[in-house]
Chains A and B, each alone.
Chain A
Amino acid sequence: MDRKEIENRVKKVIARVLEIDESEIPYNANFSFDLGASSLQSLRLVAGFQEEFNIEMDEEKSLEVQTVSEAVDFISTYLP
């Protein structure tokens, strides 16, 4: 899976969880600070990524992921 595809699917999850339009999600936007994700929504984002990509992520490390770009990098490490 190439980076662009991962990015698109990450944005799709973010848009669904945070109830915002995909076009309103900049690549370097911080989930909490720029997009307003609460602590609970951050947990839902992690769950959403796992489900979307069918992967099992390290929970502690995944909560440190705060931007779309970081999410793409992090998820890539779990993909073949």
Chain B
Amino acid sequence: MSIRAEIHKLNLIKIFDPKSVAVVGTNNVKGTVPYDILFNILKSEFTGIVFPVSPAEKSICSVKAYKYVLDIPDPVDLAIIVFPSAVCHMALEQCGQKGIKGVVIISAGFKEVGEKGLEREKQLKQIAEKYEMSIIGPNCLGIINTDPYINLNASFARKMPEEGNIGFLSQSGALCTAVLDYALAKHIGFSKFISFGNKADISEIDFMYYLMEDEKTKVILLYLEEITDGRALMKAAHEVISQSGKPVLILKAGRTEAGARAAASHTGSLAGDDEICDAAFSQAGIIRCDNIEEMFNIAIAFAWQPAPKSNKVAIITNAGGPGVLTTDAAIRDGLRLAEFSEETTREFRKSLPATANIKNPVDVIGDARADRYNIAMNGAFREDGVDGVFVILTPQSMTDIETIAKEVVKVSKQYSKPVYTSFMGESDVAVGINILLSNKIPHYILPESMCRSFSRVYRFYRDLDKDPHPQRIYTDIDTETVHEVLDEAIRNNHLYLSEDEAGKILSIYGLPVVKSQLAASPDEAALISLNIGFPVVMKIISDDIIHKSEVGGVVLNVNSVEEARNTFTSITEHVLQNKPHATIKGIQVSKMVTSGEEVILGIKKDPSFGPVIMFGLGGLYVEVFKDVSFRVAPVDEAIADSMIKQVESSKILTGIRGKAPRDIKAIRECLMRLSQLALECPQIRELDINPLIVLEENKGCYVADARILLDSPDTK
């Protein structure tokens, strides 16, 4: 942990549990941010002391105001600065002199307005560092702590949210107000509500560590617009999840950017930011959400209900159709319908109408009142094989929605198993939904959302218990030589390494590069091909030629010494006809590998997440369907396996239509070795192995072609 991070850790405690707060730059103009911030603190009945600081006012909201923060006679734990951006640095400097360690800067007019604003922001950071202060913001809505012993609403949100156990972090202030309104309507409470704006000093990573330690927080939600340091975010999320067992849900804006990328069979253009983000989040155990509704659907399940011990659920419904829909959704989301014991079945047969379906899903029939729900729920909860109960209701004329909702609340309180509900409809069921939500029973308009939320919660806890796979480090690699080759190439501004150069590097890293040698004459080509063994492939090697086939620079299936000699001459002639000024290094003679399945592997250096590894099947699967998978390095055995399995077309590798299965183990090893290369050689910007020819099971694979693009010398 860096010194600044340590300072933030200490200061954040005071920021969220202050004994006194100064609102610096407030005024008496109602309906303005400087006024509303102070007003909200007073209205929320903050348990500490508030000091308005206003150059022009004697008092605000009947509270004595000070001209400068330095005039306040008592110690101050937290300052909320609401001055115009041009003078925030002056206020911050005084806060530093006053010994205030925590500051929230609400004011806009910084990084978001351009170069001048960025300079102002840097100035704030320098002052904060000088006085060992920590800043939230600038350009944010503020912070809220619902703890009744604190009651701090230092924001310009319209209302204080309910107390709860969800910690919410947002880069967007405007989204915060929408979320607060949404949450209030659904009785969703928060432990801490944090708008961090431009994150000039304290970042989402510092907040995540803070919320990890925060006893009031059970679930962490984060809305992000930009990821500054993806690796640090992954590390923090992984630590928070594994150390505290608290789930981290992220709503990351910018999903569609990748959709516009052109299809092309190389890693650089296949790896959109969003795909990499998906992979990185999944690797770190982060639950990525697509929208606010999904985020809160899952969040309330975590926050309000116990963890399910398994994926076996019981469905209780008063309508057949919704029961079937729920069953379909449950199965689709990887859940299982529990089988009831003889005892439960007997009880249901005795107590429910003859027309009821007493197997799972239990249909208590359309005219069911609370008593039937009671019987079905108690039976399901008592059943050993049931680890979650779904209660579905549709509003018939005789359905007593309110009583049934109360029954769900009453019965579920007697058990320590999770219950999720879906009272389908809107107007009539509203009264029941309100009862459920205000009693912390998760409710979903659609049963599909209910199943999906349960599934995400179940998978989170299942994966939490998994043992981490140790990262395999290959020691049979001469890293020094590889670095010498790469650094030398960068010094000479030779950034595009051709097949033979890339092949050498991959060979050193233990990737099975097809046996090949460079021939300088027809006789040498004949000799090399004899040594390698026929058939061979012959290719032109020249820094001036990237697309070899287009200039007649590739000949496949050369089968004799004489053919090899003639091919050398014909390739040279063709190339010189097409590219008269090309400098030819020679003709590469390689073993021709046949009867393999072609896959592609690659490395891309992502500006935020660092080296990323790619896998896909060759040809159409990549070019048309973009059926590829990505993972942030390091890639261990389990990750490599998941990469291969994620690619739909990889089923071909397991042997279909009488074809023999391919050597998947060999691909896995290549992915892990490639991952080590990516991490140990940060000079590589992009690398493509296209194709890697995979032979039958236990027969290995071969790198048939590869290219490397290096960072330019001025890349930091």
Chain A proximity of B64: nearest CB distance (Å): 15
Q: Is B29 an interface residue (CB 8 A)?
A: yes
Give the interface SS of chain A, mostly helix, strand, loop or mixed.
loop
Q: Is B481 an interface residue (CB 8 A)?
A: no
- Among B67-105, those with CB < 8 Å from A are 67, 83-84, 86-87, 90-91
**A 19-42 to B, binary, CB cutoff 8 A, 1 in contact else 0:** 010000000001011111111001
Name the one of B27, B32, B55, B57 contacting A33, with C-beta atoms under 8 angstroms.
B55
Which A residues lie within 8 Å of B87 (CB)? 30, 32-33, 66
- Among A1-53, those with CB < 8 Å from B are 18, 20, 30, 32-39, 42
CA distance A36 to B29 in the complex (A): 12
Do residues A39 and B84 form an inter-chain contact, with CB atoms below 8 A?
yes
CA distance A36 to B57 in the complex (A): 8
Which B residues lie within 8 Å of A63 (CB)? 86
CA distance A44 to B620 in the complex (A): 65
Residue of A20, A34, A39, A66 ringed by the most chain B CB atoms within 10 A = A39
Q: Is B34 an interface residue (CB 8 A)?
A: yes
CA distance A39 to B113 in the complex (A): 15
CA distance A17 to B91 in the complex (A): 23
Which B residues lie within 8 Å of A18 (CB)? 56
Q: Is A58 an interface residue (CB 8 A)?
A: no
Which A residues lie within 8 Å of B84 (CB)? 32, 38-39, 42
Which B residues lie within 8 Å of A30 (CB)? 87, 90
Do residues A36 and B86 form an inter-chain contact, with CB atoms below 8 A?
no
Do residues A36 and B90 form an inter-chain contact, with CB atoms below 8 A?
no
User: In the complex, which residue of chain B has the Cβ closest to the Cβ of A19?
Assistant: B56
Q: Is A59 an interface residue (CB 8 A)?
A: no
CA distance A34 to B68 in the complex (A): 8
Residue of B27, B32, B55, B83 ringed by the most chain A CB atoms within 10 A = B55
Name the one of A33, A35, A39, A64 contacting B90, with C-beta atoms under 8 angstroms.
A33
| Chain A, interface residues (CB within 8 Å), range | 10 to 19
User: In the complex, which residue of chain A has the Cβ closest to the Cβ of B34?
Assistant: A38
Which B residues lie within 8 Å of A64 (CB)? 86
Do residues B55 and A38 form an inter-chain contact, with CB atoms below 8 A?
no
- Among A49-80, those with CB < 8 Å from B are 63-64, 66
Do residues B32 and A36 form an inter-chain contact, with CB atoms below 8 A?
no
Chain A proximity of B118: nearest CB distance (Å): 16
Do residues A38 and B27 form an inter-chain contact, with CB atoms below 8 A?
yes
Which B residues lie within 8 Å of A32 (CB)? 25, 55, 83-84, 86-87
Which A residues lie within 8 Å of B25 (CB)? 32
Q: Is B54 an interface residue (CB 8 A)?
A: yes
Which A residues lie within 8 Å of B29 (CB)? 38
Name the one of A34, A39, A66 contacting B55, with C-beta atoms under 8 angstroms.
A34
User: In the complex, which residue of chain A has the Cβ closest to the Cβ of B89?
Assistant: A33
User: In the complex, which residue of chain B has the Cβ closest to the Cβ of A63?
Assistant: B86
**B 1-41 to A, binary, CB cutoff 8 A, 1 in contact else 0:** 00000000000000000000000010101001010000000
Do residues B91 and A33 form an inter-chain contact, with CB atoms below 8 A?
yes
Do residues A38 and B32 form an inter-chain contact, with CB atoms below 8 A?
yes
Which B residues lie within 8 Å of A42 (CB)? 84
CA distance A42 to B86 in the complex (A): 11
Do residues B54 and A36 form an inter-chain contact, with CB atoms below 8 A?
yes
CA distance A30 to B56 in the complex (A): 12
User: In the complex, which residue of chain A has the Cβ closest to the Cβ of B82?
Assistant: A38
Do residues B27 and A36 form an inter-chain contact, with CB atoms below 8 A?
yes
CA distance A64 to B109 in the complex (A): 13
Do residues A66 and B56 form an inter-chain contact, with CB atoms below 8 A?
no
Which A residues lie within 8 Å of B56 (CB)? 18, 20, 35-37
CA distance A28 to B341 in the complex (A): 85
CA distance A34 to B84 in the complex (A): 12
CA distance A36 to B83 in the complex (A): 9
Chain A proximity of B69: nearest CB distance (Å): 11
Which A residues lie within 8 Å of B34 (CB)? 38
- Among B95-138, those with CB < 8 Å from A are none
Which B residues lie within 8 Å of A36 (CB)? 27, 54-57
Chain A proximity of B71: nearest CB distance (Å): 12
CA distance A37 to B67 in the complex (A): 13
CA distance A64 to B116 in the complex (A): 11
Which B residues lie within 8 Å of A39 (CB)? 84
Which A residues lie within 8 Å of B32 (CB)? 38
- Among B399-429, those with CB < 8 Å from A are none
Do residues B86 and A66 form an inter-chain contact, with CB atoms below 8 A?
yes
User: In the complex, which residue of chain B has the Cβ closest to the Cβ of A65?
Assistant: B86
User: In the complex, which residue of chain A has the Cβ closest to the Cβ of B94?
Assistant: A33
Residue of B34, B54, B83 ringed by the most chain A CB atoms within 10 A = B83
CA distance A75 to B56 in the complex (A): 25
Which A residues lie within 8 Å of B55 (CB)? 32-36
Residue of B27, B67, B83, B86 ringed by the most chain A CB atoms within 10 A = B86
Chain A proximity of B302: nearest CB distance (Å): 41
Chain A proximity of B123: nearest CB distance (Å): 14
Which A residues lie within 8 Å of B86 (CB)? 32, 63-64, 66
Chain B proximity of A71: nearest CB distance (Å): 14
CA distance A20 to B54 in the complex (A): 14
CA distance A30 to B89 in the complex (A): 13
CA distance A6 to B714 in the complex (A): 53
User: In the complex, which residue of chain A has the Cβ closest to the Cβ of B24?
Assistant: A33
User: In the complex, which residue of chain B has the Cβ closest to the Cβ of A29?
Assistant: B55
User: In the complex, which residue of chain B has the Cβ closest to the Cβ of A38?
Assistant: B27
Which B residues lie within 8 Å of A66 (CB)? 86-87
Which A residues lie within 8 Å of B83 (CB)? 32-33
User: In the complex, which residue of chain B has the Cβ closest to the Cβ of A20?
Assistant: B56
CA distance A35 to B86 in the complex (A): 14
CA distance A35 to B55 in the complex (A): 5
* Residues of chain B having any CB pair with chain A under 8 Å: 25, 27, 29, 32, 34, 54-57, 67, 83-84, 86-87, 90-91
26 examples of A-B residue contacts, CB within 8 angstroms:
A18-B56, A20-B56, A30-B87, A32-B25, A32-B83, A32-B84, A32-B87, A33-B83, A33-B87, A33-B90, A33-B91, A35-B56, A36-B27, A36-B54, A36-B55, A36-B57, A38-B27, A38-B29, A38-B32, A38-B84, A39-B84, A42-B84, A63-B86, A64-B86, A66-B86, A66-B87
A-B contacts besides A35-B55, A38-B34, 5 pairs, CB < 8 Å: A30-B87, A30-B90, A33-B87, A34-B55, A36-B57
Top 8 nearest A-B pairs by Cβ distance? A36-B56, A36-B55, A33-B87, A32-B87, A33-B90, A39-B84, A32-B84, A34-B55
